[in-house]
């Protein structure tokens, strides 16, 4: 597998789902071996290097309801996961991403708009092979009944089950065998979601201030979406969990060779899983 970047740049703007403020993002091509690098370009005066945040699991500062990364100078960025999933899903390994604001715009709540823009500007193959993270030993992390594990597998597969029964939603497990086409058609359009019953908790934590029916599937107490246009897939919310896993696992900075099995995945567990995986050199090898 070769490294790849974009053939051109694109910009998107819109509200951030958690802070509710308008922000904008510009995704630009980058040289081979750059990886995915974010810059907070709105923090004037401090110079680019102070605003640089590498898209790496060990820069994750907070994983409550979204993935937030930060650097040692205090620059931080929220809700990077849907853009990270789009880049991984489209097999982009190198990009410079400039952000005006403290959050990536939520757009329609999925990875679709990013995928469309990447397709529009085109993908450039780079003459350097992409490093592969091959899982050698099963690693499992738990949080009460919730768990995530990653195990050796020839390819990249995610088996996710969620516990939405109590909320009236379908809980059929999702099995996702990674390919670019599968990602674009089955995962990228799945939108973020919330429940009317959680509105108070979310408000108390000062999150989801920008959430609306334009960017979030919101379910009532009976598990019925309040959005006029309904769902994009019957199990859209479970598919969105898979999208989040892809975006968070992309923070490994490698192409992943392994299988994830999980029950009630979360940004927090996604991050702990990577930290546990990298904690012992026996768990993996880099090819
Ligand atoms: Zn998400």
| pLDDT (0 to 100) of residue 48 | 75
| pLDDT (0 to 100) of residue 208 | 87
| pLDDT (0 to 100) of residue 45 | 55
C-alpha 243 – ligand 1 centre gap (Å): 7
209: which residues sit within 8 A by CB, 6+ positions away?
Answer: 17, 18, 19, 20
Per residue of the chain (287 residues), give pLDDT as tens: 999 999 999 999 999 998 899 999 999 999 999 999 999 988 765 567 889 999 999 999 999 889 999 999 899 999 999 999 999 999 999 999 999 999 999 999 999 999 999 999 999 999 999 999 999 999 999 999 999 999 999 999 999 999 888 788 877 899 999 999 999 999 999 999 999 988 888 878 888 889 999 999 999 989 999 999 999 999 999 999 999 999 999 999 999 999 999 999 999 999 999 999 999 999 999 99
C-alpha 244 – ligand 1 centre gap (Å): 5
Bridge partners of 223?
A: none
C-alpha 245 – ligand 1 centre gap (Å): 9
C-alpha 46 – ligand 1 centre gap (Å): 31
| pLDDT (0 to 100) of residue 204 | 82
Q: What's the fold here for domain 2-129?
A: Ribosomal Protein S5; domain 2 (3.30.230)
Identify which of 94, 62, 71 has the alpha carbon closest to the alpha carbon of residue 81: 62
Sequence ranges of the domains in the chain: 2-129, 132-286
| pLDDT (0 to 100) of residue 46 | 57
C-alpha 203 – ligand 1 centre gap (Å): 18
Q: Pairing mode, if any, of strands 132-135 and 284-286?
A: antiparallel
Catalytic residues: 267
Q: DSSP letter string over the chain?
A: -EEEEESS-EEEEEE-TTT--EEEEEEEE--TT--EEEEETTSTTS-GGGGEEE--GGGEEE-SSS-EEE-TTS-EEB--HHHHHHHHHTT---EEEEEESSB---TTSSSHHHHHHHHHH-EEEEEEEPPEEEE-S-EEEEETTEEEEEE--SSEEEEEE---GGGT-----EEEE--HHHIIIIITTPPPEEEGGGHHHHHHTT--TT--TTT-EEE-TTS-B-STT--SSTTHHHHHHHHHHHHHHGGG-SEEEEEEEEES--HHHHHHHHHHHHH-GGGEEE-
| pLDDT (0 to 100) of residue 206 | 81
Dist CA 103 CA 101 (whole Å): 6
| pLDDT (0 to 100) of residue 239 | 96
pTM strictly above 0.85: yes
- Phi, psi of 120, deg, nearest 5: -65, -45
Q: What's the fold here for domain 132-286?
A: lpxc deacetylase, domain 1 (3.30.1700)
Identify which of 263, 257, 229, 39 has the alpha carbon closest to the alpha carbon of residue 156: 257
| pLDDT (0 to 100) of residue 207 | 81
């Amino acid at each position: 597998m070769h490294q790849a970047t974009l053939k051109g740049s694109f910009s998107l703007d819109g509200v951030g789902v958690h802070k509710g403020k308008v922000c904008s993002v510009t995704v630009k091509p980058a040289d081979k071996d750059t990886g995915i690098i974010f810059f907070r370009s709105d923090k004037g005066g401090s110079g680019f290097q102070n605003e640089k945040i590498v898209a790496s699991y060990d820069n994750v500062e907070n994983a409550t309801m979204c993935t937030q990364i930060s650097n040692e100078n205090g620059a931080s960025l929220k809700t990077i996961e849907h853009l990270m999933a789009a880049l991984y899903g489209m097999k982009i390994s190198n990009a410079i991403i400039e952000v005006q604001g403290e959050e990536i715009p939520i757009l329609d709540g999925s990875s679709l708009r990013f995928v469309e823009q990447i397709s529009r500007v085109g993908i450039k193959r780079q003459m350097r092979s992409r490093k592969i993270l091959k899982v050698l030993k099963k690693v499992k992390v738990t949080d009460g009944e919730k768990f995530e594990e990653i195990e050796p597998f020839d390819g990249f597969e995610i088996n996710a089950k969620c516990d939405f029964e109590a909320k009236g939603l379908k809980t059929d497990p999702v099995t996702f065998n990674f390919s670019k086409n599968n990602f674009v058609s089955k995962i990228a359009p799945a939108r973020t979601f919330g429940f009317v019953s959680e509105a108070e908790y979310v408000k108390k934590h000062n999150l989801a201030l920008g959430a609306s029916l334009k960017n979030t599937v919101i379910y009532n107490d009976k598990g019925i979406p309040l959005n006029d246009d309904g769902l994009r897939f019957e199990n859209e919310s479970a598919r969105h969990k898979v999208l989040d896993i892809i975006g968070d696992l992309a923070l490994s900075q490698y192409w992943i060779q392994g299988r994830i099995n999980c029950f009630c995945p979360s940004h927090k567990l996604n991050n702990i899983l990577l930290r546990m995986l990298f904690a012992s050199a026996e768990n993996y090898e880099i090819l």
